[in-house]
Amino acid sequence: MTLADTAVPNGAMYKPTLLFLDDERRVLSSMRAMFRRDYHVFVADNGQEALEIVERENVDVVISDQRMPKMTGVEFLTKVKSRCPEAMRILLTGYADLEAIEASINEGEVFRYLMKPCPPDDLKKAIAMAVEAARSSDADVAPAEDAPKEAAELIPFPGKHKAPPRGATVHSLPSARQRKTPAAAQKAAPRRGSAQPPRSAPPVQAADDAAVDLLVLSRDPALHKAIQDAAEDRTIHGSVSVEEALALLGSHPIGVMITDLTAPDSDIESLTKTLKQEVPELVAIVASERSDAHTLIGLINEGQIYRFLLKPVSRGQCRLWVSSAVRKFAELAGSESAIARHRVAAPAKAAEGAKLFDNLRGAFSRLRARLTGEEA
């Protein structure tokens, strides 16, 4: 049995499902050869065909190229987010396109942004983590009662169906349409025959929206004012240095943090990544007067930043994203499975300034306790 196989209550086995979108058939052939042993693999060479697969099949993870005719990877993943939000999304591209990187954060909300050529082990690890996150979400949702009994199929190329090997025991999976069941039915049992048992304790209740504090780390008065205007009656804590921000994080229930990457402080990027690792409920928005591809890709993969604000920020956009970030915090604080969908990658190397945070693990733990209501 491979790590991709999952036992289900009746003793059967099934494999998670991946969908690769790329306009180069050789890339699709390579992906199919690399992953077909451990996963059911669907491939498509255009966005529309890929969307039809997403709507028809029970896809766990979608991996898309960016530069394609008619529909870009970000456009496709944004549609996937809308039509099948439980599917994890990965962008795999050969171009560090700043516009695409920003859109992948703000519109596609990708789990990972990977550059080609991506080492096979890195790609496998990213997909395995995405599958784990998808399954964690599945444990909270019930299967449709009328789910089909037929075996899942492997599609090596669009339109060419191939059944599983004769004699193989494959657990049937509900289709995308069938899995969209009413909320009452979703609470009944884990979806897709997940082997994960129901949690014995109810999920921690998230803090009330109005009680969520925000932290702004910036030396730009205009950004502080924009966030203050956007936050309405929520409590805003302002800081101009990492040290000041850490003191505020240690003493207040801050659920949303807005950091200014253009501030002359080399520890800001490290702080953003470290906080996501230590306090996964915290929602991070980063702002900057300019985009830096390398920095933003690192913040996606190692910091799971929620939004990127290009300065000067508009009041309307700022208000929209602050409100959305507060809702995202409430979602994360109330669900371990939601946190799993935003799990960060291990840093490729020790982040600059990381030693600054080594003696603050206790403070981060206390912040988590306040945010989740576990503080005594």
Q: Measured between alpha carbons, how far is residue 335 from residues 109, 217, 340 in Å?
A: 18, 27, 9
Q: Which residue has the higher pLDDT, 148 or 88?
A: 88
The percentage of the chain sitting over the pLDDT mark of 90, rounded to a whole number, equals: 39
d(Cα 143, Cα 233) in Å, to the nearest integer? 41
For the stretch 227-263, pLDDT in tens is 998 887 889 999 998 888 988 988 888 999 999 987 6
Q: Supply the angle between the helices 315-333 and 221-230 in degrees, to the nearest 10.
A: 70
DSSP string, 261-321: TTSS-TTHHHHHHHHHHH-TT-EEEEEESS--HHHHHHHHHHH--SEEEESSPPHHHHHHH
- Identity of the residue numbered 34: M
Strands (E), 10-142: 13-14, 17-21, 40-44, 61-64, 88-93, 112-115
d(Cα 205, Cα 313) in Å, to the nearest integer? 32
Whether 69 shows a pLDDT value over 50: the answer reads yes
Nearest to 218 by CA among 246, 243, 238, 248: 238
Confidence of residue 191 (pLDDT cuts 50, 70, 90): very low
Whether 5 shows a pLDDT value over 60: the answer reads no
* Average pLDDT of the segment spanning 363-370: 72
Cβ-contact 344, 303 below 8 angstroms: yes
pLDDT of the residue at 286: 94
pLDDT of the residue at 306: 95
pLDDT of the residue at 232: 79
Task: Give the mean pLDDT of the chain.
Answer: 76
Whether 171 shows a pLDDT value over 70: the answer reads no
pLDDT of the residue at 99: 87
What b/e string do you get for 337-363 counting C-beta neighbours within 10 Å, with b at 16 or more? bbbbbbbbbebeeebebeebbeebeeb
* Average pLDDT of the segment spanning 216-235: 90
Q: Are strands 112-115 and 283-288 parallel, antiparallel or unpaired?
A: unpaired
pLDDT of the residue at 185: 34
Q: Which residue has the higher pLDDT, 117 or 148?
A: 117
**DSSP three-state, residue 181:** coil
pLDDT of the residue at 290: 76
Nearest to 263 by CA among 218, 293, 221, 303: 218
Cβ-contact 4, 131 below 8 angstroms: yes
For the stretch 36-49, pLDDT in tens is 999 999 999 999 99
**DSSP three-state, residue 240:** coil
d(Cα 367, Cα 329) in Å, to the nearest integer? 13
pLDDT of the residue at 163: 36
For the stretch 122-161, pLDDT in tens is 999 999 999 999 887 655 544 444 433 333 333 333 333 3
Q: Are strands 254-260 and 213-217 parallel, antiparallel or unpaired?
A: parallel
pLDDT of the residue at 152: 33
For the stretch 345-356, pLDDT in tens is 776 555 544 555
Cβ-contact 73, 27 below 8 angstroms: no
pLDDT of the residue at 98: 87
Structure tokens at 342: 């935003």
Structure tokens at 340: 């799993």
The percentage of the chain sitting over the pLDDT mark of 70, rounded to a whole number, equals: 69
For the stretch 192-201, pLDDT in tens is 333 333 333 3
Confidence of residue 173 (pLDDT cuts 50, 70, 90): very low
Cβ-contact 274, 244 below 8 angstroms: no
